[in-house]
Homo-oligomer: A and B are copies of this chain.
Amino acid sequence: MDIKALWNLTYGVYVISTIDLDNGGRATGCIANSAMQVTYDTVAVSINHENYTNQCIKKSKKFAISILGQNADDNIIPVFGFQSGREVDKFRGIETKNINGLSVIADSTGYIICDVDDILETETHTVFLGKINDCGRLKDEPVMTYEYYHRVKKGKSPKTAPTYIEETPEHTELAYKCTVCGYVYKGDLTKEPDDYLCPICKQPKSVFVKL
């Protein structure tokens, strides 16, 4: 079984947002790449049980998909992908549009607003089937594919993503790991300028440990 075959499945990069009814109805959300259209008016998204967004969707019974573009603000993925809505108001400082009561990322190519129609539980993830009640386009730019995020943005998956695979820097002599988000820098980090920041979570060089 060559698990790398799974890397050839194609995905986009999305922010799945919902309402946190236990926190005064504030918006919360997470990054997902596993989203697909199922019928002409339903979509499916897969969200890890450990993601706070999962339990919030179960309570609010609604979610929005913001479809990120290639030029999306570099902070969106770290903000939504590498911290928890349990502790943080992820939408603070993020420009949004309110569509049918849900917060959509203004800096995205478009949105799909859904009511939860059905769910399918697996050991680690919930597949939410959402009936589309609205959708629209916001920006005309190429969408960010998961492949683009990895290849061009050098991004990593959160540990809760179905596609997460532990990084093992097999073929490099030297590598450093960001202790905040897990990003692995391959090569000699000491040669980077002093103001180098982790490309994912924007933490300084000092949070990296040598592998």
Instruction: Please give the residue numbers on chain A whose beta carbons come within 8 Å of chain B beta carbons, in ascending order.
Output: 1-6, 8-12, 33-40, 42-44, 46, 67, 109-112, 117-118, 120, 122-125, 127, 129, 132, 134-137, 143, 145-147, 162-164
Contact = CB atoms under 8 A, between A and B. Distances in A.
Given A5-B137, A39-B162, A122 B112 contact: no
7 closest pairs, A vs B, by CB? A10-B12, A5-B110, A5-B135, A34-B36, A37-B162, A38-B46, A8-B67
A42 B163 contact: no
Given A1-B134, A135-B2, A122 B39 contact: yes
How many copies are assembled? 2
B123 A39 contact: yes
Contacts of A39: 46, 122-125, 162
B110 A8 contact: yes
B162 A40 contact: yes
Given A5-B110, A137-B4, A40 B127 contact: no
15 contacts: A1-B134, A1-B135, A1-B136, A2-B135, A2-B137, A3-B135, A8-B109, A9-B36, A9-B43, A9-B112, A10-B10, A38-B46, A39-B46, A42-B122, A44-B127
A136 B7 CA distance: 10
Contacts of A163: 37
Nearest to A113: B1
Contacts of A136: 1-2, 5
A127 B5 contact: no
Contacts of A143: 8, 10, 147
A164 B11 CA distance: 18
